[in-house]
Amino acid sequence: MPDVIVIGDGPGGLSAALFLAKNQQDVVVFGDDKSAMHYACLRNYLGIAEINGADFQRIARAQVSAMGARLREERVREVAGGGEHFTVTLESGEQVTAKYLILSEGKAPKLATQLGLAFDEASGIAADRNARTSVDRVYVVGRSARPGRSQAIISAGDGAAAAIDILSREQGKDVLDWDQPPKE
Ligand SMILES: Cc1cc2nc3c(=O)[nH]c(=O)nc-3n(C[C@H](O)[C@H](O)[C@H](O)COP(=O)(O)OP(=O)(O)OC[C@H]3O[C@@H](n4cnc5c(N)ncnc54)[C@H](O)[C@@H]3O)c2cc1C
């Protein structure tokens, strides 16, 4: 059983998975590589002068896999649960259970509504600065939370904030994922 299930493999979901896997969480990402990024050419992602969105996705997916997250190219049909666990049902019928759920479904979030989270076309799904929703241990990140203001770097930041929040909850203290270059 993974610790965290991420649904959606755009910058929001992949960023969350990167931070979680880097910090020894067992994380699985479900998605069909249909991110809106495949239509984008980024010139506003800090630190990268210009990159084709499809190239960004290819590099990000490889980075997240190398860090230890499992990327599964499958769609999720249903989510259910609360309390101790959430269960997702794939289109194949397989079920997977985890303690935390991060939803990064993009522009048309259907699964979030199955958990009772309301989606408003103008303001998205309500979530706090750490991407927590009104359902405990369910996070909503990226375009689903801010449909009219969706930017790749914001989705990635939302995903990172959700991951750091989960790590902090699990460790019972604030977590900083900071690295330094090797000493010469
Ligand atoms: C034409 C165009 C140009 C753009 N240009 C820029 C730009 O220059 N700069 C910029 O910052 N942004 C740009 N964007 C916006 C950018 O693509 C989005 O901000 C970004 O993709 C949002 O990331 P996300 O992770 O929130 O959602 P998405 O990237 O949309 O990812 C959501 C993913 O979840 C998957 N998914 C949904 N439901 C399920 C399910 N049930 N099971 C499994 N997977 C599921 C989807 O298939 C998709 O892969 C552009 C977008 C478009 C369309």
Alpha helix (H) ranges present in the chain?
Answer: 11-22, 53-67, 111-114, 152-171
Tell me the average pLDDT across 42-68: 98
Query: Would you place residue 15 in the very low, low, confident or very high pLDDT band (cuts 50, 70, 90)?
Result: very high
- Kindly tell me if the per-residue pLDDT of 84 is higher than 90: no
Kindly report the CA angle at 116 between 153 and 170, in degrees rounded to 5? 60
Tell me the average pLDDT across 54-76: 98
Ligand 1: centre distance to CA 144 (Å): 9
DSSP code, position 109? -
| pLDDT confidence of residue 169 | 98
Ligand 1: centre distance to CA 106 (Å): 5
Give the closest residue (by CA) to ligand 1 atom 27.
Answer: 106
- Kindly tell me if the per-residue pLDDT of 184 is higher than 90: no
Nearest to 130 by CA among 161, 154, 176: 161
**Residues 6+ away with beta carbon under 8 Å from 71:** 9, 17, 29, 31, 61, 64, 65
pLDDT digits (tens, 9 = 90+) for 135-154: 999 999 999 999 999 999 99
Strand partners, 123: none
Q: What percent of the chain has pLDDT over 90?
A: 97
Is the distance from the beta carbon of residue 147 to the nearest atom of ligand 1 less than 6 Å? no
Tell me the average pLDDT across 19-40: 97
Query: Model's pTM, two decimal places?
Result: 0.98
